[in-house]
Chains A and B, each alone.
Chain A
């Protein structure tokens, strides 16, 4: 009883000791905030990565891919049985994109990763569809240009695009051509005939393989292409090329306007045409190109993907690159992606697949999504661990502060210890007074820290706003992170550990002073002035 009473009275009368645990409070609060933000961050990242990547990817080491996708997919179905929820085949190859900047008019060329997808099944293995800008495409992508309404529900200030834009720009282009020719007063008949047969100029005048030159039979054409594309003239106001879904950062930049407001600049929009150049399957590969019409944007908010991915129909790439076996008619793909049912162990399935497709024989790379983003996830994990260690060191430093303060208090209370012992208090009792004192200081300190930390986490975006106002510095720049808010996840278990750790340190720091107090000789302690 006296232990409790005295611990409590010492706590109430010694404000210096409370000051010494402010560092514990701050340490606990910081740890909770940092852990919550890091957990939120890495969770968001996991979600994003996992959403973009399918569970397991079987990838051919060769750009020309694994032959006969159907056979592979049947084999995989047999091996994995019921574990599979969805499966799709795709082609992933490096490519060049070339398009006209609609602000300044010059041509822009960029490297991209071109992905040929089967639009029926691709949405099943990842969250691909969710990241599209047009609401109808989010339901089911069909690679056809929509009238307008891009960005509905995602980017509210998205400019007019789709057919609405395409018609206007076709009209404008037509007008511009007419104005130019009128002004020059050149008759079309004045242009001298080209000495060469016309081959694909890639212009808006239609596709290379349907221009007049081919009809003459000077270059042997592929017979079905003429059937595929019977029209000889291409009217951009009512027609589109094969659709392409572009990663949004390929043709836009996020920045700030003169008022400092966040703004996006689009170099091209759905409805515009782009040219894609890919290596074909020849030995050595040669560049082949074709025109595509942007039918949607893809915004996963992972800048790495948004700035490089472009999606086109799988069969289009297979035809363009020549990935069709002439004899059998089977088509090659470069990756097969699987989505597994909930609760199925990724690594087990991965090992089964590796056993079926041994690397020596097939040369396929079989990876889970974690393998693919391993370094990034590991980096985030490492960062969290190091931050935790550093912050716990702060609390440990606070522990030394408590140690010093407690020694002072024990010295100050030497006579009290003598009095208690002369009244028959055992050494253990004296020790537990000071241990109890340390415990209550630690509890108060980390309790306040816990509350502060949780409040901070709860209002972190408001607080970030204030700090921005006061310092003028962006705390959490959406142009960098693509998050509009700081993501936080409070893990109760982490909070419990942090608080227990802090209380533990306070108690440990009070052990030495408490032992010193317990060992005091009563006569000497009573004489102490």
Chain B
């Protein structure tokens, strides 16, 4: 398994529930992966301009598990889309590993999403015509040309199978999304988001469409990724019990950061 992952394996940390004012000590020295400052975004609905984000500042350090919480309409999904460069802020700056990314040209943002930032969604967003394995392979198919892909096909398929094994779906390789349960689809989506070995995983309410037990399974996998494989995770959720497990919880209210709380 470790051959598939270039992420260093860290010693499991003792956890405590006591709230504190700063990040967990293990993350204090970690470099900043993602940083947003003064992000403003509004949407146009007809002639009315609806402000969504009114100057948001956040910071994500390597190895961190950060939760963004807020009521619906607080702008948390919009913020996540901006962080993933799926959309551009009206004002403000976003940095990925100290490089400004909000004003990059489309081709560079495509590459960034393809190789450096993984995403999972509330509605899984798998391609219905493809099997689980093919869905997981999609990021490398996009990254590589036909010849390059065909030459490295074995390697890619091996890694995709290992990832599906990691999320517990090694028996579902040839299944189409419609033949799978919601929990299984989300696990395929997680495997897909890890395929390109990204530095950052953005999750948009990954358990929002799942029942309790399936949601717990997904959270367990995400936790495992964070703690065991040291994947940096930013998760949007409105479930406070999930947010309570995060290293840092950012609360958005009406497009502003209302409070930031830490947990060790």
Seen from chain A, the residues whose Cβ lies within 8 Å of a Cβ on chain B are: 1-2, 4-6, 9-10, 12-13, 415-416, 418-427, 429, 521-523, 526
Q: In whole angstroms, how far apart are the Cα atoms of A420 and B138 in the complex? A: 8
CB distance from A315 to the nearest CB of B (A): 82
CB distance from B132 to the nearest CB of A (A): 14
Which residues does chain A contribute within 8 Å of B113, judged by CB atoms? 421-424
Which residues does chain A contribute within 8 Å of B143, judged by CB atoms? 424
Asked whether B129 lies within 8 Å of A9 as measured between CB atoms, the reply is: yes
**Pick from B86, B128, B130, B144: contact of A421, CB under 8 Å:** B86
16 residue pairs of the A-B complex, CB under 8 angstroms, read A6-B127, A10-B129, A12-B129, A13-B129, A419-B125, A419-B127, A421-B86, A422-B86, A424-B112, A424-B114, A424-B142, A424-B143, A426-B106, A426-B110, A521-B87, A522-B86
Asked whether A523 lies within 8 Å of B129 as measured between CB atoms, the reply is: no
Which residues does chain B contribute within 8 Å of A422, judged by CB atoms? 84, 86, 113, 119, 121, 125
Which residues does chain A contribute within 8 Å of B142, judged by CB atoms? 2, 420, 423-425, 429
Which residues does chain A contribute within 8 Å of B48, judged by CB atoms? none
Which residues does chain B contribute within 8 Å of A522, judged by CB atoms? 86-87
Q: For chains A and B in complex, what number of residue pairs have CB atoms within 8 angstroms?
A: 73
At the interface, yes or no: B229 with Cβ under 8 Å from chain A? no
Seen from chain B, the residues whose Cβ lies within 8 Å of a Cβ on chain A are: 81, 84, 86-87, 106-107, 110-115, 119, 121, 125-130, 134, 138-139, 141-146, 149-150, 192
Q: In whole angstroms, how far apart are the Cα atoms of A384 and B111 in the complex? A: 54
Q: In whole angstroms, how far apart are the Cα atoms of A9 and B143 in the complex? A: 20
Which residues does chain B contribute within 8 Å of A13, judged by CB atoms? 129
Q: A6-B127, A422-B113 are in contact. Are A427 and B141 (CB under 8 A)?
A: no
Q: In whole angstroms, how far apart are the Cα atoms of A366 and B130 in the complex? A: 74
Q: In whole angstroms, how far apart are the Cα atoms of A10 and B130 in the complex? A: 10
Asked whether B114 lies within 8 Å of A523 as measured between CB atoms, the reply is: no
Beyond contacts A1-B146, A522-B86, A526-B121: 9 other A-B pairs, Cβ-Cβ < 8 A, are A4-B146, A9-B130, A419-B127, A422-B113, A423-B142, A424-B111, A424-B114, A424-B142, A425-B142
Asked whether A2 lies within 8 Å of B138 as measured between CB atoms, the reply is: yes
Asked whether A424 lies within 8 Å of B115 as measured between CB atoms, the reply is: yes
Which residues does chain A contribute within 8 Å of B141, judged by CB atoms? 1-2, 5
Asked whether A526 lies within 8 Å of B129 as measured between CB atoms, the reply is: no
Q: In whole angstroms, how far apart are the Cα atoms of A416 and B141 in the complex? A: 15
Asked whether A1 lies within 8 Å of B145 as measured between CB atoms, the reply is: yes
Asked whether B129 lies within 8 Å of A1 as measured between CB atoms, the reply is: no
Q: In whole angstroms, how far apart are the Cα atoms of A377 and B175 in the complex? A: 64
**Pick from A5, A419, A420: contact of B134, CB under 8 Å:** A5
Asked whether A1 lies within 8 Å of B144 as measured between CB atoms, the reply is: yes
Q: In whole angstroms, how far apart are the Cα atoms of A234 and B107 in the complex? A: 105
Which residues does chain B contribute within 8 Å of A424, judged by CB atoms? 110-115, 139, 142-143
Which residues does chain A contribute within 8 Å of B81, judged by CB atoms? 523
CB distance from B176 to the nearest CB of A (A): 10
Q: In whole angstroms, how far apart are the Cα atoms of A420 and B125 in the complex? A: 9
4 shortest interchain CB distances as A-B pairs: A424-B114, A9-B129, A2-B141, A424-B113
Asked whether B126 lies within 8 Å of A419 as measured between CB atoms, the reply is: yes
Q: In whole angstroms, how far apart are the Cα atoms of A201 and B87 in the complex? A: 110
CB distance from A418 to the nearest CB of B (A): 7
CB distance from B146 to the nearest CB of A (A): 5
Which residues does chain B contribute within 8 Å of A429, judged by CB atoms? 142
Nearest CB in chain A to that of B115: its residue: A424
CB distance from B251 to the nearest CB of A (A): 23
Which residues does chain A contribute within 8 Å of B127, judged by CB atoms? 6, 416, 419-420
Q: In whole angstroms, how far apart are the Cα atoms of A78 and B199 in the complex? A: 94
Q: In whole angstroms, how far apart are the Cα atoms of A439 and B121 in the complex? A: 33
Nearest CB in chain A to that of B113: its residue: A424
Which residues does chain A contribute within 8 Å of B110, judged by CB atoms? 421, 424-426
The CB with the most chain A CB atoms within 10 A, among B115, B141, B150, is that of: B141
Which residues does chain A contribute within 8 Å of B87, judged by CB atoms? 521-523
Nearest CB in chain A to that of B117: its residue: A424
Nearest CB in chain B to that of A419: its residue: B125
Q: In whole angstroms, how far apart are the Cα atoms of A9 and B127 in the complex? A: 11
The CB with the most chain B CB atoms within 10 A, among A419, A423, A425, is that of: A423
The CB with the most chain A CB atoms within 10 A, among B86, B87, B121, B128, is that of: B86
Q: In whole angstroms, how far apart are the Cα atoms of A74 and B239 in the complex? A: 112
Which residues does chain A contribute within 8 Å of B107, judged by CB atoms? 426
**Pick from A4, A6, A423, A521: contact of B129, CB under 8 Å:** A6
**Pick from A6, A420, A426, A523: contact of B86, CB under 8 Å:** A523
Q: A2-B138, A2-B141 are in contact. Are A427 and B106 (CB under 8 A)?
A: yes
Nearest CB in chain A to that of B131: its residue: A9
Nearest CB in chain B to that of A521: its residue: B87
Which residues does chain B contribute within 8 Å of A526, judged by CB atoms? 86, 121, 125
Asked whether B149 lies within 8 Å of A1 as measured between CB atoms, the reply is: yes
CB distance from B186 to the nearest CB of A (A): 14
CB distance from B118 to the nearest CB of A (A): 9
Which residues does chain B contribute within 8 Å of A415, judged by CB atoms? 125
Which residues does chain A contribute within 8 Å of B139, judged by CB atoms? 423-424
Q: In whole angstroms, how far apart are the Cα atoms of A422 and B114 in the complex? A: 8
Q: In whole angstroms, how far apart are the Cα atoms of A522 and B112 in the complex? A: 15
Q: A423-B138, A424-B139 are in contact. Are A418 and B125 (CB under 8 A)?
A: yes
Q: In whole angstroms, how far apart are the Cα atoms of A521 and B81 in the complex? A: 12
Q: In whole angstroms, how far apart are the Cα atoms of A18 and B225 in the complex? A: 44
Q: In whole angstroms, how far apart are the Cα atoms of A423 and B115 in the complex? A: 9
Which residues does chain B contribute within 8 Å of A523, judged by CB atoms? 81, 86-87
CB distance from A12 to the nearest CB of B (A): 8
Q: In whole angstroms, how far apart are the Cα atoms of A9 and B135 in the complex? A: 13
